[in-house]
Amino acid sequence: MNTKLLFNAIGKFAAGLILVGLMLFLPAGTIDYPNGWLFILLLFVPMFLLGVWLMVKNPELLEKRLKSKEDESEQKKVISLSLILFIVGFVVSALDYRFRITHLPLWVVIIGAVLLLVSYGLYAEVMRENTYLSRTVEIQENQKVIDTGLYGIVRHPMYFAATLLFLSFPLVLGSGIGFVIFLAQPFLLVKRIRNEEEVLEKGLDGYTEYKKKVKYRLIPFIW
């Protein structure tokens, strides 16, 4: 077992758990925040299980997924804006709970929970299909175009899963205001996708042909 990779994965998992906890419970002014605990449970338990699966089955892919340093300047801008959006979205959702500004009904929270779990299932399937799936935009050695499974439906199924995931966050937290804030995230993903496709078209053999075969980037029959 790769000990360095294991400790890196554990460190990033723990840091993410602590940061999300701080962004939720400090603004909420209490740890008695049921939606916050539900969100943490739904987000981090599948994340842990997925990490264990990757560590055992595909540690190389796990290492790629833990890499976060972007070389593309356009991608750096998108990541910075996304980070700001997440912080604002989580903090506002917690403040929304604290001051009872909006309160989404239970059935909406349940829909959000289902969407979150479905998006994790899509994540796992995309990772199974594509072992080149780095978090950063790059062309890897011996990389090939994947055009089967979900990649035969849209060119960026991981970003489709991410869209569902991000939009589920405020629903699970029960915040209507948070949902409005998180609606900006798909537009940032569109910006990321456009830049990523420019990189892939220039450096990945067969990608131009793949674009002709699979017409839709993110959502079938829409875009």
- pLDDT of 81-105, one tens digit each? 889 999 999 999 999 999 999 989 9
Query: What pLDDT does 136 receive?
Result: 57
Q: Kindly state the DSSP code that residue 103 receives in the 8-state scheme.
A: -
Instruction: For residue 89, give the nearest of 192, 186, 183, 187 by alpha carbon.
Output: 183
Cα 28 from chain centroid (whole Å) = 24
Any idea which architecture 3-213 has in CATH? Answer: Up-down Bundle (1.20)
Tell me which H or E stretch contains 135: none
pLDDT in tens, 1-14: 578 888 888 888 99
Distance between CA atoms of 29 and 25, rounded to whole angstroms?
Answer: 6
**Mean per-residue pLDDT for 137-158?**
78
pTM for the structure as a whole:
0.87
Closest C-alpha among 30, 75, 67, 38 to residue 199:
75
Interval 161-169 mean pLDDT:
94
Q: How many CB atoms lie within 10 A of CB 63?
A: 17
pLDDT at 135 (0 to 100): 58
pLDDT tens per residue, range 149-163 = 888 899 889 899 999
Q: What pLDDT was estimated at residue 199? A: 81
